Amino acid sequence: MNILTIKNKKEESVLRVKTAPFDFAFYTKPQITELLRTMRTTMTAASGVGLAANQIGLNSSVFVALVHNKFYAVFNPVITEMSVETEMLDEGCLSVPGTYGPTSRAARVTLIGADRNSRPLKIKARGLLARVFQHEVDHLNGVLFIDKAKELHKISNI
């Protein structure tokens, strides 16, 4: 599956829109499993650590992440708490190829949502996991890291 990028204006317009809530009533368990498999495969093939559904053209509030060898799949995620303490680190994005920049994110967050079985979940995250959660929730809200980065740098060979 292709990852949408800002290099294509039509694709960027998809990335810039808030996604619709994921409605479990419209999907069977095998369809959800296949969606997550496709998203994980697409993310790992691109050497990413997170992927939001709208990055592959799906108007659904769901993301996957693989951080510290742990796989996360979160449906209808909402960040309910963010620490005052922030961390400024270089960030990049599969939908903004060849670009990175220092981006400030909360050091700790609390994320709520649903798991693949529509059961409520709550995750307290810090460090890289907190950063990935914020990045992916931003995607689902139509926000890209380039909107928040202090400055942008291009990688010359991409």
Could you list the active site residues?
136
Distance CA 5, CA 12 (A): 6
Q: Which amino acid appears at position 14 of this protein?
A: V
For residues 81 and 102, is the Cβ–Cβ distance under 8 A?
A: no
Give the DSSP letter string of 31-91.
Answer: HHHHHHHHHHHHHHHTT-SEEEGGGGT--SSEEEEEETTEEEEEEEEEEEEE-S-EEEEEE
Q: Could you tell me the strand order of the sheet in which 99-106 lies?
A: 86-92, 99-106, 153-154
Only one residue has tokens 């997170």, namely: 50
